[in-house]
Amino acid sequence: MRNWKSDIQNQKYIFALIMSKSTDEVFKNVIAHAKEYGFVFPSSEIYDGLSAVYDYGQNGAELKNNIKAYWWKAMVQMNDNIVGIDSAIFMHPKIWKASGHVDGFSDPMIDNKDSKKRYRADQLIENQIQELTDQYKTLQLDALILESDIQNAEVIRQTTIDMSQEQKLLIDAVEFDNLEKKILELLKSEELLKEKKKQYDLKLQFLKEETDKIQSDFDFAMKGDDLNRLKRIIIENKIADPVGGTRNWTDVRQFNLMFSTQMGAVADDADVVYLRPETAQGIFVNYLNVQKSGRMKIPFGIAQIGKAFRNEVIARQFIIRMREFEQMEMQFFVRPGTQADWFSKWKQTRLDWHLALGTDLNKYRFHEHVKLAHYADAAFDIEFDFPFGFKEVEGIHSRTDFDLSQHQKFSGKKLQYFDPELGEDGKPYGNYIPYVIETSIGLDRMFLLTMINAYEEEDLSTEEKQDSRIVLRLHPCLAPVKAAIFPLTKKDGLPEKARELMDHLKTDFNLQYEEKDAIGKRYRRQDAIGTPFCITVDHQTLEDNTVTIRYRDTMQQERVAADDLGKIIGDMVSWKNLLK
């Protein structure tokens, strides 16, 4: 008997695999949409652009600021023991010596001797693993379809056998012989399908073993900083130059990612300074200032949003990896010995922050670091399922007392904290250097995540006509424009009434006024930038001061009093909806 439940599961899996093939197209559509509707532009585009540098347009700047506001409110405003700062981009060069960035902030690079192109060795291997994984998924899909064909062949053959038995007495010998031949042909076809399925299974096993082996070797090499092993993986797996196609590689070397410049009026006497590669060090060097001026008690946190710069040799995937980017970081200072509990708390708290936006939990996963930094005792990434696979969005790290200890050592200034609270022995904990739990989220990655998660190409076709729309289902709190106000026509006093409404509401909300084109086209434009509400002023408005409000997600419309608009919009876009 056939296992129909298994068939349904296979069909669902086949559908999921087929859908996964279109994710690359979705990503390209999101990038195109971001440019067309003023979210993200290639930087310096009229000069043919600058690699891996992007500008945020009018709607992108609003969305980005709203994401920052959500993070800041959740991190600083909602926590009595967390404060925010804004440290300088340029800092004393010894800071980067103390933090280890001068000596150790690097990526493993490899050059192709023929094309003269430079690549990150780890990314070449990761791409090879991804390619094998994609091959596995494609073959797995073919194998599932083949399995379905085999099951169908079995059903057809059995049906034919049953039919031959039932009609054996009703048909002549010639017709019966034809049925017998058909059954034999079906059986032969079925056997060929099964043989092909065996070949597929062998290939699948080989691909899985090959992928697992490379991944294991890669993890081991990365954990041990084994550059020779990285090159050996590239050579053994015949990984070719993506540009030239040759395999003529140099040795793998470390390449420092910091941008350096000079500070001073005369070049010969100028000091070398760096554009900060992270915002965390600005928090650490201000730890004592904040603690004393704010009379902060352990445990407490310091938060910061700011630009960082990394000389990425291989920048890719739109705004995922850029040379200039923005971070939202919080360093939480705790008593030594309590870091494990605080790490678990912040790990869950940060995931909850993401899920509050309504994102499906299945889109996220925790990834534990295979290779821990020498100073860390725990590290997890929150990863999101982008169209090109799971990628890190936020990191939660237990950094022990490394950073403050290093800055105390290099600066010669004491960064200890005196803890008057009593321990189990009845004595004060006394002086110690606090341990640190770090949460660090890439704002640009969060921006892209938000765009991808909200983007939808919705089919609105009916039997009468074909129709569709592109809609950004952004959370109302994050939407760049909270409401759009339309006069139904450009005459009869409707524009004046619409402007009056806008002047009344714009002190509280970011609004747009639009009077060009038909109402339907105006709705579509606002859907495309994620505006939650569209308000239409018509002739009835002049009579009873009511307007039509149209909701983005449902496209439903209702008549409401114009005086109630502030409350209706305010309730929907209130930060209380996210900060409960």
What is the reported pLDDT for 10? 46
What is the reported pLDDT for 137? 84
pLDDT over 70 percentage in the chain: 87
Check: CB of residue 557 under 8 Å from CB of residue 577. no
What is the reported pLDDT for 80? 95
Q: Which of 3.30.930.10, 3.20.20.70, 3.40.50.2300, 3.40.50.300 would CATH assign to domain 4-105+257-451? A: 3.30.930.10
Q: pLDDT (tens digit, 9 = 90+) per residue, 230-289?
A: 999 999 999 998 888 899 999 988 877 888 888 876 555 568 889 999 999 999 999 999
What is the reported pLDDT for 329? 97
Burial class (CB in 10 A: 0-12, 13-18, 19+), 56: buried
What is the reported pLDDT for 173? 56
Q: What is the mean pLDDT of the chain?
A: 87
Question: Is the bond leading into 242 cis (omega within 30 degrees of zero)?
Answer: no
**Higher-confidence residue: 313 or 570?**
570
Q: pLDDT (tens digit, 9 = 90+) per residue, 436-490?
A: 999 999 999 999 999 999 999 998 888 888 889 999 999 999 999 999 999 999 9
Cα distance between residue 222 and residue 234, in whole Å: 13
* Superfamily name with CATH number, domain 460-577: Anticodon-binding domain (3.40.50.800)
pLDDT at 407 over 60: yes
What is the reported pLDDT for 17? 43
Model confidence, pTM: 0.77
What is the reported pLDDT for 511? 96
Q: How many of the other CB atoms lie within 10 Å of CB of 28?
A: 12
**Higher-confidence residue: 159 or 548?**
548
**Higher-confidence residue: 200 or 381?**
381
Q: What is the DSSP letter of 76?
A: I
Q: For the chain, what are the domain ranges?
A: 4-105+257-451, 122-254, 460-577
pLDDT at 346 over 80: yes
What is the reported pLDDT for 21? 43
State the average pLDDT over residues 188-193.
Answer: 73
pLDDT over 90 percentage in the chain: 58
Among the residue ranges 226-240, 365-379, 410-424, the one predicted with the least confidence is: 365-379
Q: pLDDT (tens digit, 9 = 90+) per residue, 131-169?
A: 888 888 888 887 777 777 677 766 666 666 665 555 555
What is the reported pLDDT for 131? 86
What is the reported pLDDT for 51? 84
What is the reported pLDDT for 79? 96
Among residues 132, 156, 524, 579, which one has the least CA distance to residue 356? 579
What is the reported pLDDT for 8? 35
What is the reported pLDDT for 148? 74
Check: CB of residue 485 under 8 Å from CB of residue 535. yes
- What is the 3 state secondary structure string of 281-313? HHHHCCHHHHHHHCCCCCCEEEEEEEEEECCCC
**How far is residue 67 from each of residues 34, 71, 219, 304, 364, measured CA to CA in Å?**
16, 6, 34, 14, 18
